[in-house]
Amino acid sequence: MAQIFPQSANRLPLVVALAALVLPPAVVGGVWYYGSPRFTDVGYQPVQPVPYSHKLHAGEMQIDCRYCHVSVEKSAVANVPPTQVCMNCHLLVARNAESLAPIRDSLKSGSPMRWLRVHKVGEYAYFNHRVHVGAGVGCVSCHGHVEEMDVVHQVEPLSMGWCLDCHRDPKPNLRPLSEITNMTWKPARDPEARERQIAGLRPVHPPTDCSGCHR
Amino acid sequence: MSAEHWRSLGELEESPESRAFREREFPEGASEPPEGVTRRTVLTLLGASAGAASLVACRRPEEHIVPYVEAPEQIMPGVARHYATTMPNGTSAYGLVVESHEGRPTKLEGNELHPASLGASSARVQAAVLDLYDPDRSQQVLKRGEPSSWTDFVAAWKERAKLHAADGGETLAIVATPSAAPTLARQLAAFQKAYPKARVVGYAPVSEANALAGVARAAGRALLPVHHLDKAKAILAIDADVLHADPEMIRHTRGFAGGRRVVAPGDAMNRLWSVEAVFSITGANADHRLRLPARLIPGFVAALAAELQKGGLALEAVTAPELPGLDKTWLHALAEDLLANRGASVIVAGPRQPAAVHAAVVALNAALGNVPATVEYREPTDALLPSPAAFAELGSALRDGKVKTLVVLGANPAYDAPADLDWKGAAAKAEELVHFGSHVDETGALASWHVPSAHFLESWGDARARCGTLSVVQPLILPLYGAKSAVELVGLLASGEDRPGYDLVQATWRGLLGEADFEKRWNRVLHDGVLPDSAQPGVKLELKPGTLGELAAATGGAGELELVFQACAKLEAGGNANNAWLHELPDAITKVTWDNPLLVSPATAAAKGLKDEDMVRLDVAGRSLELPIQRVPGLADGTLVLYLGYGRTKAGRVGTGVGFDAFRLRTGAAPDLVTDFKLMRTGERYDISQTQDHGSMEGRKLIREATLAHYKDEPKFANEKTPLFSLWAEHEYKKSPQWGMVIDLNSCTGCNACAVACQSENNVPVVGKDQVRRGREMAWLRIDRYFTGEPSDPTAAFQPVPCMQCENAPCEQVCPVAATVHDAEGLNAMVYNRCIGTRYCSNNCPYKVRRFNFFNYTKDTPKVLKLLNNPDVTVRSRGVMEKCTYCVQRLSAAKIDARLGGRELKDGDARTACQQACPAEAIQFGDLVDLQSKVRKARENDRTYALLEDLNTRPRTTYQARLRNPHPTLAKAEPAGGEGPHA
C-alpha cells in the first residue's frame, strides 16, 4: 500500500512554522506600508480637462498663487479660479490655443469647468486654509513645489498622522506672513536667525484634540 | 414645604407601561427596524453594501471641483454671508438676518435692530427656512390642473380684466390673508381704484378679528393693540397665550423675562396672572393660574371689573354673574395687584374670547392708567385686516352667482373655511377661481388658475411690524420654482401690467423715503433691515360708554362640556403643515409629535371613562370627527381642546393625512367654542407618539424652584451641598477658553425656539412618527416639562436639556473605540468616523442626551433639501451616535476670526444656536475662565445648580433655579417652595 503522505510532507510542520513567523509580519507590514496614504495617495496625478501647467504659470511667469486662488487667506477653501480668471489673460495670450478650447467653451456656454480634485484631507475633517495661512504655514508645506509641476500631483500624504505631526510641533513649518506664497523661501539654518524669521508671528497653538477638526 | 415634580400622568399613577418604559434604555422594539423592512433584509442589504464598498475602496474616487464661470461679486466659496430681510407674519412681521452659503440661505436669525425680533427668534421663524426648500411646493402655473405659464396667465388676466373694467369689478373679488405691507396695500388700493365695486376681503381662519372688533366697540374704530410686557409689573393674561402663540411672542417673551431677571435676592420680579381653559405656555409660566372654562371667562372679566370697582377704580356699573368655583380670595388678590400697579400693569385677552371681553379689557386697561404705558392702540396703517363678516358675505355672494372671478391670495379656504359656509360649493359657482399659493393645496386643486407663490426668502416686498416699524423683504435667492411674489400678482391684477417686484417695492419706498438721497437711504434700509424711527405711536383713546355691559350676555351657561378650537402653536391653522421640523417638535405641554389628539383634563376623562389613546367621536350639529384623546393635567374640567391645522388632504408628502381635521366641526357661527355637541367612545385605540417619558430621570432633584420670598430668606436654596470626591486626581481645566453654559430656568418659558434652532444649525434629521414612538427622536436639545402639584391643577416648569459636556463624562469612560473624548476646552467631543455604534455611551449617559442613528435617515432626502444643510456640520449616517457639541463649528469660527483679527476671543464672540435663538435670553454661554464673562457670573450666582450633581459628572451646563412670585395673600395657601424633592 502506497504511503498516504509523500515524504516531502515531513517538512510541512517546518513550512507552517516558518509561514506563521513570516506571514503575519508580512501582512501587517504590507497593510501598514501599502495601505497608508503615503503609498496610496502621494503621487496622485489625475489628468485634468485642460493641461494647465503650474510650472509655466507659477514657476516661469511667477504669477502669485493668490492671483487665482483668491480666497486662500479669507476662506476655509482655497478656491479654484472661475473660468473668467483664465480668460483675463487668454483673451490676449494664446487666444486660439487648441488646449484652451474647453476654457473658451466654458465661458461661451456658461457651463463650468470640472477640474479633478487632487488634494483632499480625510473625510469628516474640516480643514481651514485661512487659519493655516494666517498662522504662517506656506503653500509649499502641504502642496509641495507646485511651481515645478507640469501636472499637479500630491506630495504629502494629507493623513491624520501627518497633520498631527505638524500640529504637535508647528515651528519647522512656520514662515513670515510675507513669504507664504514664496515657493523658494528657505528657513534659516542658524537657530537664532530662524527665531528672528518667525518672531513676527502670533504664537501658534494648533489644536490636537478631535474637536479641532472633526465636528 | 415641598412640591412634588412629575412628568406624566402615567408616572404619577405608576402604571406598569410607564414603569417599563422608563426602565429601559431604549423603549421596547427600539432596535427593530421600521415597518416594511425586516431585520433579515437589513442584514442582507448590509452584506451587499459591504461587498460593494470593499470593491470600490480599491480605487480613489474621483472628485470634481466645479468653480464658477463668472464669479458673482462678493460671494466667496466657504464664507457665509448675512443679509437682512423680513418674515411677514399676518399684520406684523419679524426682521431677520439670514445666513447664506454660496447663495443658499441656510439659517434664520432675528435681527437685533428689528423691534419684533430683537435678535431672537421663535420655533416657527427657525423652521421657516425649511419651507423654502420644500420639494412639494408647486412648481408651475396651472390652468385647470394642466401645466401652463405665467405669460399665459398674464394674457388670460388681461382678457378677464376687460370684462371687469366694464362692470366696475362688481363680480370680482380678492380673498387675501391679512397683511401689513406698504407695497401690497398700495397695490390693493390701486386695485380697488381700478375696480371700485370689487370686494377685497381679509381672511384667516384664526385671527385677531375678535380683538379688532372689541377695540372698535370700545374706541369707535379698529385699532391694533401693542403690548409692552417689559414695562408691566403685573400682567393678566385672559385666555391669551402671549408668550407662545401670539405673533409678538418674541418681544413679549423678552419683555416678560426681562421683568423677572433676578440676580441678587433684592431684585424685584413681575407677576403673571393667567385665566384660561387650555394649558398654555403662558399659563405654565404664570405665578397664579386659574382654570376656568372658556365660556365662563367673560363672566370672570365682569367679576374682575366689579372687584376693581370695589377697590376704588372708576368704572361703569357692571353686573358680575355668579361663577361656580371662582375663588374670591384669588380674585381679590388679583384686583389688589392690578390696583397697586396702576400704569404698570397690563391685561391681555386672547383671540378666542369674544369682542365683549376685548372691549372690556380696553376699558380696564384705560381705567388702570395702562394706556399708553404698557399698552398702546395703533392705527393699522397699510394693513389688510381679517373680517369674518366680509368673508361670510362673500360666501353668500358666491353662492348667488354674484362673483364671477375670485382671486385667493395665500389663503386656503377650501380647507379652513367655516364648515357651515360650504365654501367649496360656493366657490364652484365662480367662473374663474385664481389661486395664488405655495402649494397646490385643497383650494389650489379647485382653482381654474393656480399661480405658485414665492417664499419670503425669494421675493421682494415689505412689511410693518406690530408697532409700525417698516422693513423690507429682501430676497436671498431667485425663486427656486419660478414662483411670483404677492406684490407682483396684485400689481398685475391692479394695473394689468406685469412688473417685477423690485420695481414695485422701490416705487413705494421712493414715496416713504423721499427722492433726496434715495439710493443711499434705500441701501441703508436694505443693509440694516429696518427703517429707523418708523414705529407709529398709539392713538389717544376716546372710550365709548357701555363697554362692560355686554360681558354678562357673552358668558356661557353652566353646561357640562365645552369644545374649544385652538390654532396649533406649531402648524398654526395648517399653513405650516408640510414642515417636518415642526411636526416632529414635541408640543410644549403635551409633548405629542405628529398628531393633534383631543385634549381633556384627567377628571373629565375619568368621568367619561376615557383613557389616553382611546378613539372618540365628536358630533357637532350633524358633523362628526373621530380622533384619539390625550389627558392633559391642568386643563379646565369639562373643556375639550381641539387643535386646528391637522388632517390636511393636500399639504404635501409630509403633512398630508397627519392628524385630524378639526375644521370639519368648526362653523362660522361658533368658531371659537361649542357647547352643544356629543362625545362618544368608539372603542377603538390609536397610537400617539409622545416624547414625554423618554429618558425619564427617576425623580431626582432636576428642577429646583422657590418663591421669591423664600429666595430672599435663603439665597442658596438650590445649592445641594453634596460632598464630592474623586478616586483619582482630576484633570484641571485652566487654559482659556473653557466653554460652559448656564440656563436660567426662571427666564425659560419653554417656547421651543432653541430646539428648532439646534435642528436647523446642526443638520439634525427628522425620523417620523413611528420612529419617535420607538424612542428614536434625534433632537440634540430636548425640553423637559415637569408638572408640580395636584394633577387636577398643576403648574408646569420647563428645562432645556442639551449635552451637559461633563468634565467627568460617563460616556467617555465606556466607549471602546474612543469615539467620544474630551478636548482641552472642556468639550465632550463626538468623533463620528470613529463611532462603531455600540451605544454604550448612551447607556451610561445619566442625562440621556445622546442620539443614535438607527437608520440612514438622510438617505432619501430630496436633492433640493440638501441645499438646506449647514456645510460646516457633518451629515451623520446610520450606526453613529451623535449629540450636542455646543455648536463646535461656531466656536471654531469665532476662534479663527479672533485670531486672524489679531485680538483675543472676547465674551459674546462665540454664541451657540440655542443661545442666539432664545427670546428670553435664558441661555448664557461662553468662557468660564474669563472672570468678566456673563456665563461665569451666572455660574457663580446663588441659584445655580448642576443636574445630578451627586454623580460627580461635573457638568459644564448648569441651571439657575426657578423662582415664582406669588401674591402675598395667596402665598400662604400655596406651597412656599424651597427645594422640590421629587417623586
Report residue B312 as a C-alpha cell: 376704588
* Residues in B touching A41 (Cβ below 8 Å): 60
pLDDT at B696: 43
pLDDT for position B167: 87
Count how many residues are written for chain B: 983
Q: What is the pLDDT of residue B977?
A: 41
What are the residues whose beta carbons fall under 8 Å from the beta carbon of B148, sequence distance 6 or more? B140, B141, B142, B449
Quick check: A71 and B66 CB within 8 A? no
Q: Are residues B638 and B709 in the same domain?
A: no
Residues of A in contact with B761 (CB under 8 A): none
pLDDT at residue B702, rounded to an integer: 87
Residues of A (54-83) whose Cβ lies below 8 Å from B: 70-71, 74-77, 79-83
Is B248 a residue whose pLDDT tops 50? yes
The 10s digit of each residue's pLDDT in B607-652 is: 999 999 999 999 998 899 999 999 998 999 999 999 999 999 999 9
Rounded to whole angstroms, the Cα distance separating B596 from B663 reads 12
Average pLDDT estimate for B570-579? 91
Helices B518-528 and B501-513: angle between axes, nearest 10 degrees: 110
For helices A83-90 and A101-109, give the axis angle rounded to 10 degrees: 120
Q: Angle at which helices B486-495 and B150-167 pack, to 10 degrees? A: 40
With beta carbons less than 8 A apart as the criterion, state whether B705 and B962 touch: yes
Q: Note whether B67 contacts A81, CB cutoff 8 Å.
A: yes
Model confidence at B12, pLDDT cuts 50, 70, 90, reads: low
In this structure, what are the phi and psi dihedrals at residue B317, rounded to the nearest 5 degrees?
A: -65, 140
Task: Identify the DSSP state of A121.
Answer: P
The residue among B378, B393, B427 that closes a domain is B378
Query: Do A188 and A132 fall within a single domain?
Result: yes
Q: Over the stretch B79-126, which tens digit does the pLDDT of each residue have?
A: 999 999 999 999 999 999 999 999 999 999 999 999 999 999 999 999
CB contact under 8 A, B889 and A126: yes
Total domain count for chain A? 2
Q: How high is the pLDDT of residue B316?
A: 85
Residues of B in contact with A46 (CB under 8 A): 62
- By Cβ distance, the residue of B60, B824, B899 closest to A134 is B899
How far, in Å, are B332, B423, B661 from residue B649 at the CA level?
A: 49, 16, 9
- B729 with B632, same domain? no
Residue B200, Cα to own-chain centre: how many angstroms?
A: 29
Residue B68 to residue A83, Cβ atoms within 8 A: yes
Is there a domain that residue B952 lies in?
Answer: yes
CA B408 → CA A186, B184, B436, B453, distances in Å? 72, 14, 6, 11
Of B192, B207, B272, which Cα lies nearest the Cα of B233? B272
| Claim to verify: residue B667 and residue B710 sit in the same structural domain | no
pLDDT of residue B795: 85
How many helices (H) and strands (E) chain B has is answered by 31, 43
Closest Cα in chain A, distance from residue B833 (Å): 7
Is the Cβ of B734 closer than 8 Å to some Cβ of chain A?
no
Identity of the residue numbered B334: L
For residues A135 and A201, the answer to whether their CB atoms sit within 8 Å is yes
Compare CB distances from B76 to A75, A85, A116 and report the shortest one's residue: A75
Cβ B958 vs Cβ B719: under 8 Å? no
> Are residues B785 and B685 part of one domain?
no
Given a cut of 80, whether residue B932 has pLDDT beyond it is: yes
Asked if residue B395 lies in contact with residue B430, where contact means CB atoms within 8 angstroms, the answer is: no
pLDDT for residue B29? 47
Mutation to test the A interface, candidates B58, B59, B60, B733, most A Cβ within 10 Å: B60
Cα distances (angstroms) measured from residue B679 to each of B132, B292, B610, B615, B620: 40, 20, 11, 10, 9
List the CATH number of the domain containing B902: 3.30.70.20
The residue among B321, B348, B378 that closes a domain is B378
Cell 486654509 belongs to residue? A129
Residues A73 and A177 both lie in one domain = yes
Q: State the residue for C-alpha cell 417636518.
A: B580
Residues of chain A in contact with residue B803, where contact means CB-CB under 8 angstroms, are: none
Hey, what amino acid is at A16?
V
Contact A215 B885 (CB under 8 A): yes
Q: Are residues A214 and B825, on separate chains, in Cβ contact within 8 Å?
A: no
> Chain A within 8 Å of B831 (Cβ-Cβ)?
yes
The arithmetic mean of pLDDT across residues B879-886, rounded, is 94
Residue B373 sits in the same domain as residue B323: yes
* Cα nearest neighbour of B876 on chain A: A124
Mean pLDDT on B813-817? 94
Instruction: Read off the pLDDT band of B378 (50, 70, 90).
Output: very high
* Of the partner residues B68, B822, B872, the one whose CB lies closest to the CB of residue A112: B68
What's residue B723's pLDDT?
80
Residue among A74, A116, A124 minimizing CB distance to B64 = A116
Contact of B392 with B249, CB cutoff 8 Å: no
Closest alpha carbon within chain B to A42? B60
Burial class (CB in 10 A: 0-12, 13-18, 19+), A147: buried
Task: Band the pLDDT of B971: cuts 50, 70, 90.
Answer: confident
Asked whether the beta carbons of residue A77 and residue B63 sit closer than 8 angstroms, the reply is no
**Domain span holding position A149:** 69-80+119-209
A61 domain-assigned: no
Residues above pLDDT 90, as percent of chain B: 74
Stretch B658-686: mean pLDDT: 92
Q: B37 CB near a chain A CB, below 8 Å?
A: no
ipTM metric? 0.89
Handedness of CA B840, B843, B849, B854 (dihedral sign): positive
- Which residues in B lie closer than 8 A to residue A132 (C-beta atoms)? none
- Total tally of structural domains belonging to chain B: 3
**Sign of the dihedral defined by the CA atoms of residues B812, B814, B820, B824, in that order:** positive
Whether residues A76 and B68 touch (CB distance < 8 A) is answered with no
Does some domain include residue B44?
no
CA gap B173, B390 in Å, rounded: 11
For residue B812, tell me if it sits in a domain: yes
Interatomic CA distance for residues B864 and B869, integer angstroms: 10
Task: Return the minimum-mean-pLDDT range out of B284-293, B684-693, B906-915.
Answer: B684-693
How far apart are alpha carbons A180 and A166 in whole angstroms?
16
Task: Determine, for residues A210 and B66 on separate chains, whether the beta-carbon distance falls below 8 Å.
Answer: no
**Looking at residue B697, what is its pLDDT?**
47
Asked if B648 and B700 sit in the same domain, the reply is no
* CATH number for the domain that contains residue B605: 2.40.40.20
Contacts of A47 in chain B (CB under 8 A): none
Identity at B900, one-letter amino acid code: L
Instruction: Determine the pLDDT at residue B317.
Output: 83
Q: Are residues A76 and A25 in the same domain?
A: no
Spatial distance between the Cα atoms of B663 and A23, rounded to a whole number of angstroms = 75
In this predicted structure, what is the pLDDT of residue A64? 93
Q: A80 vs B899: CB contact, 8 Å cut-off?
A: no
Q: pLDDT (tens digit, 9 = 90+) per residue, B59-73? A: 578 899 999 999 888
B904 in A contact zone (CB under 8 Å): no
Helix (H) or strand (E) holding B526: helix B518-528
Contact B62 A116 (CB under 8 A): yes
Q: What is the largest CA-CA distance in chain A?
A: 92
pLDDT at residue number B56 = 46
Query: In the 8-state DSSP scheme, what is residue A43?
Result: T
Could you tell me if B806 and B953 are in contact, meaning their C-beta atoms sit under 8 angstroms apart? yes
Q: Do A214 and B833 touch (CB under 8 A)?
A: yes
Whether residue B620 lies inside any domain: the answer is yes
A131, part of any domain: yes
**pLDDT in the model for residue A85:** 93
Domain membership of residue B43 (yes or no) is no
Decide if B42 is inside a domain.
no
Check if A115 contacts B (Cβ < 8 Å): yes
The pLDDT profile of chain A, 215 residues, written as one tens digit per residue, is 678 888 888 899 999 999 999 999 999 999 998 888 888 888 899 999 999 999 999 999 999 999 999 999 999 999 999 999 999 999 998 888 999 999 999 999 999 999 999 999 888 899 999 999 999 999 999 999 999 999 999 999 999 999 999 999 999 999 999 999 999 998 888 889 988 888 888 889 999 999 999 98
DSSP state, residue A59: I
Interface size, chain A vs chain B, as Cβ–Cβ contacts under 8 Å? 123
Does any CB of chain A come closer than 8 Å to the CB of residue B874? yes
For the cut 70, the answer to whether the pLDDT of residue B37 exceeds it is no
Q: Are residues B807 and B952 in the same domain?
A: yes
Residues B781 and B907 reside in one and the same domain: yes
**Nearest Cα to A66, choosing from A155, A201, A180, A142?**
A180
For residue B704, pLDDT over 60 is answered with yes
Q: In this predicted structure, what is the pLDDT of residue B982?
A: 35
| A76 and A21 in a common domain | no
Q: Which residues in chain B have their CB less than 8 angstroms from residue A130's CB?
A: 896, 900
Q: From residue B552, give the alpha-carbon distance in Å to each of B25, B349, B555, B746.
A: 55, 16, 5, 37
Q: Is the dihedral of CA B878, B883, B886, B888 positive or negative?
A: negative
Cβ burial of B534 (10 Å; 0-12, 13-18, 19+) is middle
- How far, in Å, are A63, B43, B234, B531, B597 from residue B661 at the CA level? 67, 40, 38, 41, 11
Q: What is the mean pLDDT of residues B342-346?
A: 94
Q: Which of A37-46, B170-179, B278-287, B411-420 has the lowest mean pLDDT?
A: A37-46
Q: Is the confidence at residue B422, as pLDDT, over 60?
A: yes
Q: What percent of chain B has pLDDT over 70?
A: 92
Question: Cell 463668472 sits at which residue?
Answer: B70
Which residues, numbered 116 to 175 in chain A, qualify as contacts with chain B under a Cβ-Cβ cut-off of 8 Å?
Answer: 116-117, 120, 122-124, 126, 128, 130-131, 134-135
Nearest to B304 by CA among B354, B349, B264, B350: B349
Phi, psi of B858 (to 5 degrees): -100, 5
CA B325 to chain centre: 33
Classify burial at B780, counting beta carbons within 10 Å of its beta carbon; exposed 0-12, middle 13-18, buried 19 or more. buried
B425-452 confidence digits (pLDDT tens): 999 999 999 999 999 999 999 999 999 9
Q: B76 to chain A nearest CA, in Å?
A: 7
Instruction: Round to whole Å and give the CA distance between B505 and B493.
Output: 16
CA distance B746 to B706: 10
Q: What is the pLDDT of residue B20?
A: 58
* Nearest-angstrom CA–CA distance, B8 and B17: 12
In this structure, is residue B90 part of a structural domain?
no
Q: Do residues A75 and A172 share a domain?
A: yes
One domain, residues B893 and B949 = yes
pTM here? 0.90
pLDDT beyond 50 at B48: no
Q: Are residues A76 and A168 in the same domain?
A: yes
CA–CA separation, B555 vs B301, rounded Å?
10
Q: Which of residues 875-894 of B touch A (CB under 8 A)?
A: 885, 888-889, 892
Helix (H, G, I), strand (E, B) or coil at B25: coil
Same domain, B609 and B735: no
Grid look-up 503615503 returns A38
Taking a C-beta distance cutoff of 8 angstroms, is the pair B789, B795 a contact? yes
8 Å CB contact of B888 and A113: no
Whether residues B717 and B651 fall in one domain: no
With bands split at pLDDT 50, 70 and 90, how would you rate the model's confidence at B17? low
Q: Taking CB atoms and an 8 Å limit, are B872 and A81 in contact across chains?
A: no
Contacts of B70 in chain A (CB under 8 A): 82-84, 107
- B21 confidence band (pLDDT: 50, 70, 90): low
Angle ∠(A207,A208,A209) on CA atoms, nearest 5: 95
List CB contacts (< 8 A) between A128 and chain B: 892, 896
- Contact state of B64 with A207 under an 8 Å Cβ cutoff: no
Tell me the three cell numbers of residue B22. Answer: 422608563
Q: What is the CATH number of the domain that holds B310?
A: 3.40.228.10
B-chain residues near A88 (CB < 8 A): none
Question: Which residues of B fall within a CB distance of 8 Å from A76?
Answer: 78-79
Summarised one tens digit per residue, pLDDT across range B737-769 is 999 999 999 999 999 999 999 999 999 999 999
pLDDT of residue B25: 52
Q: Cβ–Cβ of B831/A214 closer than 8 Å? A: yes
Of the candidates B378, B399, B422, which is a domain's last residue?
A: B378
pLDDT score of B15: 66
Q: Are residues A34 and A123 in the same domain?
A: no
Residue B398 near residue B406, CB atoms below 8 Å: yes
Per DSSP, what are the bridge partners of residue B236? Answer: B273, B347
- Cβ atoms of B310 and B303 within 8 Å: the answer is no
Domain check: are B685 and B704 in the same one? no
Residue B340's pLDDT band (boundaries 50, 70, 90)? very high
Whether residue B10 has pLDDT greater than 70? no
Domain assignment of residue A128, yes or no? yes
CB contact under 8 A, B823 and A211: yes
Q: Are A204 and A136 in contact (CB under 8 A)?
A: yes
User: Could you report the per-residue pLDDT of B499-550, keeping only the tens digit for each?
Assistant: 999 999 999 999 999 888 999 999 999 999 999 999 999 999 888 888 888 8
Name every residue whose Cβ is closer than 8 Å to that of residue A200 and which is 6 or more positions away in sequence: A176, A177
- Which of A74, A109, A133, A215 is the best residue to mutate to test the B interface, defined by the most B CB atoms within 10 Å of its own CB? A215
Locate the chain A residue with the closest alpha carbon to B824: A209
Range of the domain at B737: 5-24+693-971
Report the residue of chain B nearest A35, measured CA to CA. B58
In a domain, A91, yes or no: no
A109: in domain: no
Q: Does B59 touch chain A (CB under 8 A)?
A: no
Contacts of A134 in chain B (CB under 8 A): 896, 899-900
Closest chain A residue to the Cα of B75, Cα to Cα: A71
Q: In angstroms, rounded to a whole number, what is the distance separating the alpha carbons of residues B439 and B206?
A: 20
